[in-house]
Amino acid sequence: MMFIIFFISLFADIGVVSAADYYVATWGSDSNNGTSLDAPWQHPSYATQQAKAGDTIYLMDGVWHNEYISFANSGTKGNPIVMTAYNGTPTLIGSGTGQGISIVDQAYITIDGITIENYDNAIYGECPSGKSKIRNIEILNCKIKNCNDISIWIRSINSTYDIPNLNITNNTITDSKCSAMYLIHIKDSIIKNNYIENILGEGCMGIGIGYYFDNTIIENNYLTKIATYAISGGSHSDNNIVRNNTIENISGRGIRFDKHYNNNTVINNTIKNTEDIGIDIYPDSFTIVKSNYVENSSLGVYSGSGIVENNTFKDCRAVRMTSSEEWGYGTIIFKDNIVDNADWIDFYGQKDSIIQNNIFMNGERGIVFYTGTSAPSENVTIRNNVFYNIGGTTAAITVGWSPVTNLTIKNNIFMNIPDYCIENKTGENVIVAYNDVWGCSSPYFKGITATNTLEKDPLFADPPNDFHLKSQYGRWNGSDWVTDSVTSPCIDAGDPADDYPNELDYPNGYINMGAYGNTVEASRSPKIESKGVYYVAPYGDDANNGITLETAWRHISHAASKAQPGDTILIVGGVYKDEHVVFTNSGNATHPIVMKAYNGTPTLDGVDKTGVGIKIPDKSYIEIYGLKIKNYDIGIKGEGILQNITIGNFTIEDIKSEGLNFDSASLQNSIITNFIIRNTGGRAISHYDFGSTDCHDVEISHFIINDIDSAGILWENAKRVHIHHGEIHNTTGDGIRLYKNLNCSVVEHVLVNKTGWHGIAIHDPYMNRPCYDNIIRNCEVIGASHGAIDLHSGAFNTTVENCTLVGPPYTTVGIYFHNRGEGLIARNNVIKNMLRGIYADAYNNGSVIKNAVFVNNTIYNDIEYSGGDGQNGLLENISFINNTFINCSSDGSYSALSFWYGRNVLLKGNRFINPPHPEEPQIQVKYCTGDVIIEDLKDRVTKIRAVSTSAEVRFTDGKVFSENGINTPYWHPDKSNYSLVNETVRFITHNMTAVPSSGYATITVNKFNTSLPQGEILVNFTSNTTNGTNVVFTIGDLIPNKYYLIRKDCNSFTTKRADSTGHITFSNSEWRSAHTFTVEEIPPTPRTGLVGLWHFDEGAGTTAGDSSGNNNNGTLIDNPDWVDGKIGKALEFNGSTNYVEINDSDS
């Protein structure tokens, strides 16, 4: 086993990860170190016994026979153990038995790109009884075939523990004699993009999930030639989604959910050619079955409740919604479906169910209430359906053979029915009214009295392809509204008592008959000629009625003044000069007023750059699409309270002032999208008036803004503004400014290029209207003249993440947090070519900047520095963690990371690569107070200067041990500190590796970095093996060819010369028992003293007692588990929220 020991410092509540890459090749040797392509290990099974959290195992191209791989250790959150293909196709071939890869009670394991053949189980995962560790297993891009049992089998034997966060993606599984996957007790998982074929063993499944699975997504999989179930969900399973899968040629069932579950969704799947049921829903459940295509198969919902919506069932054996007394009665909403040529359409055992807006066509049997007397139905409504060319063996609707009470059948259209339209065999209190019958056999009804029956041709658009009703006043053709030369008699012919708020002509007229009654696709009524679709054309005349192209109006302003709720104004392409459009009326939630281009690009040309192109004063539910507006003072202006405004697909250019001006408006629940604004004398988009009230939920997206003589977007005094997916070029002001009292908003995926001031800013200039809880992420700022991202006076609880910020000019700051603000997280950003990279500034009198964390940022080529200055204000609680500074501080007058007058400064884990002036300090702290902590130095040499500052530089003494041959070495961090007071110190970091030639070793490592020059103290350690075998120690980063003295127990032991690469190697074959060794030129004075000793032997409670005598007892946080240890009791942590907190004390 090889130990690689890095000296790093840690927070108390997270595990230490020292990630390594290992290589495995068929021609390698397990006696190699495995860390290079030239010296790989031979067996993957050996590699997985060595790997620990954060490690990656690379399998080279080749074939391994009869490998049985198990993982000895777990990864951790953010640091999984990964086994992946390095190149080619690494392949594991078994002899038909056993498990290729076994993951038992381990967590955070990734298997990627491996081919596995001829095992019982290719991959097996298990949570044993009484355990609860396995989680976050990823199986990606693998090819699995010829397994004799379940190919991927993951299960929890612990009935109280569901395995979370499985990710099984992009795998191919073929030719298995049992199920491709079988997963038991899982949750919060995803199974997607897998190809599964030829799973032909009796009772076997493609994707099988047995007993309890929750919050799991199964999507985009392709399954074919499966013996029993393509996708099967076990009982007691809630909140799962099965979507976008393709299932075909199945000997059994397509998608199956067992009994006792709730809130599952089956959506957008394609299911063809199943010998049994295509979608099979068991009792005691609630399911949404939506937008699926089912062909040569069937649907079955048994004693379950749910919504079956917008599906197509073609050439199916049966579509059944049934219940029984044994399992209880279901309530089904069956709507917007197409049932084309089904052998059976069964509805029985239904309570309070609705069958509406469906099309039933081309079958010998219609709807039947079938089976015996044990399955009665009551309170069922069949309304607004089309029955076309259906029946013959039965009526279009057969009420019976099971009991039915309180059935209502109305607003339906029956056409070309060869048998009865409705036959009542067993029904009581059956109401049949307001139906249309055409081309049907007479008598139309049997055993029932129908009222208000219409006997007229419904004038369908194109049966059997399109069952919309023809209308001279507007018919939806699938993409647009068109007009016909005739109007269907079924329009407005439904039950006058029925409400119909979804029809566009509401509230005038009545509900339409047929499948589109009370939907937004309902054809328009002849009773409302003043409402509907209107045309505007350059050749029109405002004296026309506007309802056809031939009788179009002339002016857009005239159309806007006439438009009523639900109206659509279609504008023919052309130029409309000196138009000043004002909307007179509002739309409503179901009937907005829509103004859009009919063809081409209608252009409003203001000619002299005066006035407003389009004004929306105190209006709601207005939609504007497809226009160009130019040569006005303001392009579009909103005033007062504006709700549900949508402006899209537009261009505004050559404007004197603002492109979009909402300065005096309270804009709410509105969208501005897909637009170009260019060449404006003022802001492109402006909301600048603090007097507006309650502006919220505004989305600005998919835009290009350029050549603006002010700010690109300025938005003030609002909440939940979302600006995303756009570009802003060449502004004289800010690219985007979130201004005064702008809260809970997001700017993301925006490119800002060349601004006269800030790139993206959050600003409260008067420091009395701060901005809270805003996020800037995934943005790119290039060439801002001041701060690329500027958080200026009043930015509170701000997040800046995943942004790329690039100069020149070299006059700007990448991320600038200054004057007044509190709570900043700036993480994962890349900043290049700036004057200063990331900077917190309380320099001005009275400034307060607090609680800022800069983490995982990379800064290139800044001229001066990153850091902070609080000379005349308060700069407090500032952290720079794990940032990387590359070629920074080229000026030479500054350190790359510099602080003045800060209070409570944490500088942790930062790196300085290729500093232009390595002779100068990389870190400087000057006039700082409070806790100034510098820890976890990442570079081999770090120079730090403290001026009028007392700083604490923290190091780690590490102890690594392994108790047996297969367990992970454990790392116990203990801090060592160096007090830096008014001095400049050079700190040196070295790495050591220790490799037992066989067996296992106990190794104690103590490292002390001091201000002494290189080579004076490197590391001392104690080592002994349990069986006396050899351990080879290697010390690196030394001066090549320089001699170093190695001392044993502070006595001279031997002298070693570093090789040409700066390494010294020696081993414990040179001594017989455990000793402490120091590699040095001058003996150090090591810091000693026991702070605390915690055995974790309590076994219960929330206290970890200190056995050192210093009374530094710990408190358990977030309930880590008490477990049995190797000696006595122990604690098991989850790697994220569990830890033991030790209070500060003098010891």
The pLDDT tens digits for 324-342 are 766 667 789 999 999 999 9
Task: Give whole-number Cα distances, 400 to 346, 385, 449, in Å.
Answer: 10, 19, 16
pLDDT digit string, tens, across residues 937-967: 777 678 888 888 888 877 654 333 333 333 3
Are the beta carbons of 880 and 866 closer than 8 angstroms?
Answer: yes
Q: Summarize the confidence of residues 801-813 as an average pLDDT.
A: 87
Looking at residue 1046, what is its pLDDT? 62
Cα–Cα dist 25/44, whole Å: 8
Q: Name every residue whose Cβ is closer than 8 Å to that of residue 1093 and which is 6 or more positions away in sequence.
A: 1106, 1107, 1108
Q: Name every residue whose Cβ is closer than 8 Å to that of residue 110 and which is 6 or more positions away in sequence.
A: 75, 80, 81, 82, 83, 84, 137, 138, 140
- Structural domain includes residue 171: no
Looking at residue 495, what is its pLDDT? 95
Cα–Cα dist 1045/1032, whole Å: 17
Structural domain for 148, as ranges: 11-161
What's the domain count of the chain? Answer: 6
Using the 3D structure, point to which of 98, 130, 161 is the last residue of a domain: 161
Q: How confident is the model at residue 978 (pLDDT cuts 50, 70, 90)?
A: low
Using the 3D structure, point to which of 429, 455, 481 is the last residue of a domain: 455
3 state SS of 478:
coil
DSSP code string of 554-580:
S-HHHHHHH--TT-EEEE-SSEEET--
Helices (H) and strands (E) in the chain, counts: 2, 110
Looking at residue 109, what is its pLDDT? 97
Q: Are residues 1093 and 1083 in the same domain?
A: no
> In one letter, which amino acid is 346?
D
Q: Summarize the confidence of residues 660-670 as an average pLDDT.
A: 92
Q: Are residues 233 and 262 in the same domain?
A: yes
- Structural domain includes residue 574: no
Alpha helix ranges (H) inside 766-821: none
Q: Are residues 217 and 151 in the same domain?
A: no
pLDDT digit string, tens, across residues 577-623: 999 999 999 998 888 999 999 999 999 999 999 999 999 999 999 99
User: Could you identify the residue written with the tokens 């992970």?
Assistant: 968
DSSP code string of 640-686:
EEEEEEEEEEEEEEEESS-SEEEEEEEEEEEEEEEEEEEEESS-SEE
Q: How confident is the model at residue 1128 (pLDDT cuts 50, 70, 90)?
A: confident
Candidate from 1-10, 174-183, 819-828, 1015-1024 with smallest mean pLDDT: 1-10
Alpha helix ranges (H) inside 43-197: 44-50
Looking at residue 987, what is its pLDDT? 62
- Structural domain includes residue 157: yes
- Structural domain includes residue 1054: yes
Q: How confident is the model at residue 1037 (pLDDT cuts 50, 70, 90)?
A: low
Residue 713, beta-bridge partner list: 685, 736
Q: Which two structure tokens, joined as six digits, stand for 842?
A: 């309380």
Q: Name every residue whose Cβ is closer than 8 Å to that of residue 513 and which is 6 or more positions away in sequence.
A: 384, 411, 412, 413, 434, 435, 436, 454, 458, 469, 490, 491, 493, 494
Looking at residue 570, what is its pLDDT? 96
Burial of 263 (0-12, 13-18, 19+ CB in 10 A): middle
Q: Are residues 430 and 323 in the same domain?
A: yes
Q: Which of the pair, 980 or 281, is modelled with greater confidence?
A: 281
- Structural domain includes residue 542: no
Using the 3D structure, point to which of 511, 529, 547 is the last residue of a domain: 529
Cα–Cα dist 1037/987, whole Å: 13
Q: Buried (b) or exposed (e) across 985-1012, using 16+ Cβ within 10 A?
A: bebbbbbbbbbbeebbbbbbbbbbbbeb
Question: Residue 1023 pLDDT > 60, yes or no?
Answer: no
- Which secondary structure element, helix H or strand E, spans residue 1011, and what is its range? none
Q: Centre a 10 Å sphere on the Cβ of residue 798 and count the other Cβ atoms it contains.
A: 24
Looking at residue 958, what is its pLDDT? 39
Question: Residue 201 pLDDT > 90, yes or no?
Answer: no
Relative to beta strand 696-708, strand 660-680 is: parallel
Looking at residue 254, what is its pLDDT? 95
Question: Residue 1077 pLDDT > 70, yes or no?
Answer: no
3 state SS of 733:
coil
pLDDT digit string, tens, across residues 243-266: 999 999 999 999 998 877 788 899
Q: Summarize the confidence of residues 824-834 as an average pLDDT.
A: 95
Q: Are residues 304 and 445 in the same domain?
A: yes
Q: Summarize the confidence of residues 1086-1097 as an average pLDDT.
A: 66
Q: Summarize the confidence of residues 461-482 as an average pLDDT.
A: 92
Q: Which of the pair, 504 or 829, is modelled with greater confidence?
A: 829
Q: How confident is the model at residue 1025 (pLDDT cuts 50, 70, 90)?
A: low
pLDDT digit string, tens, across residues 139-167: 999 999 999 999 999 999 988 899 999 99
3 state SS of 143:
strand
pLDDT digit string, tens, across residues 409-426: 999 999 999 999 999 998
Cα–Cα dist 113/125, whole Å: 18
Question: Residue 872 pLDDT > 50, yes or no?
Answer: yes
Q: Are residues 409 and 319 in the same domain?
A: yes
- pTM tops 0.85, yes or no: no
pLDDT digit string, tens, across residues 430-462: 999 999 999 999 999 999 999 999 999 999 999
Q: Summarize the confidence of residues 656-668 as an average pLDDT.
A: 93
Looking at residue 925, what is its pLDDT? 92
Q: What is the DSSP letter of 426?
A: S
> In one letter, which amino acid is 593?
I
CA torsion sign, 288 to 293 to 297 to 298?
A: positive
Per-state percent for the chain, helix, strand, coil, to nearest 5: 0, 50, 45
Looking at residue 960, what is its pLDDT? 34
Relative to beta strand 760-763, strand 318-322 is: unpaired
DSSP code string of 914-960:
S-S-TTS-SEEEES-EEEEEEE---SSEEEEEEES-EEEEEEEEEEE
Q: Which of the pair, 987 or 269, is modelled with greater confidence?
A: 269
Category of 30 on φ-ψ map: left (φ > 0), alpha (ψ -120 to 50) or beta? alpha
Looking at residue 707, what is its pLDDT? 97
- Structural domain includes residue 781: no
Q: Average model confidence (pLDDT) for the chain?
A: 86
Looking at residue 322, what is its pLDDT? 81
Residue 670: closest CA among 621, 609, 608, 712 = 621
- Structural domain includes residue 986: no
How many alpha carbons fall within 13 Å on the CB side of residue 388?
Answer: 21
pLDDT digit string, tens, across residues 377-416: 899 999 999 999 998 888 999 998 888 999 999 999 999 9
Task: Give whole-number Cα distances, 25 to 49, 185, 473, in Å.
Answer: 16, 36, 74
Q: Centre a 10 Å sphere on the Cβ of residue 529 and count the other Cβ atoms it contains.
A: 12
Q: How confident is the model at residue 130 (pLDDT cuts 50, 70, 90)?
A: confident
Residue 840: closest CA among 807, 801, 871, 802 = 871
Q: What percent of the chain has pLDDT over 70?
A: 85
3 state SS of 847:
coil
Looking at residue 1002, what is its pLDDT? 44
> In one letter, which amino acid is 160?
T
Q: Are residues 252 and 374 in the same domain?
A: no
Cα–Cα dist 597/591, whole Å: 19
Q: Summarize the confidence of residues 41-61 as an average pLDDT.
A: 96
Q: Are residues 335 and 425 in the same domain?
A: yes
Q: Name every residue whose Cβ is closer than 8 Å to that of residue 283 and which is 6 or more positions away in sequence.
A: 259, 260, 302, 303, 304, 323, 324, 327, 328
Looking at residue 28, what is its pLDDT? 95
Cα–Cα dist 874/868, whole Å: 11
Looking at residue 999, what is its pLDDT? 45
Q: Name every residue whose Cβ is closer than 8 Å to that of residue 1072 and which is 6 or more positions away in sequence.
A: none
Are the beta carbons of 559 and 596 closer than 8 angstroms?
Answer: no
Task: Give whole-number Cα distances, 172 to 113, 224, 256, 596, in Å.
Answer: 10, 12, 22, 48
Q: Are residues 443 and 523 in the same domain?
A: no
Cα–Cα dist 734/786, whole Å: 9
Looking at residue 1052, what is its pLDDT? 54
Q: Are residues 155 and 214 in the same domain?
A: no
Relative to beta strand 923-926, strand 897-900 is: parallel
CA torsion sign, 442 to 444 to 450 to 456?
A: negative
Q: Which two structure tokens, joined as six digits, stand for 1129?
A: 């009791």
Looking at residue 952, what is its pLDDT? 83
Cα–Cα dist 701/673, whole Å: 5
Q: Are residues 310 and 266 in the same domain?
A: no
pLDDT digit string, tens, across residues 3-50: 333 322 222 222 334 589 999 999 999 999 999 999 999 999 999 999
- Structural domain includes residue 844: no
Looking at residue 1104, what is its pLDDT? 87
Q: Are residues 59 and 189 in the same domain?
A: no
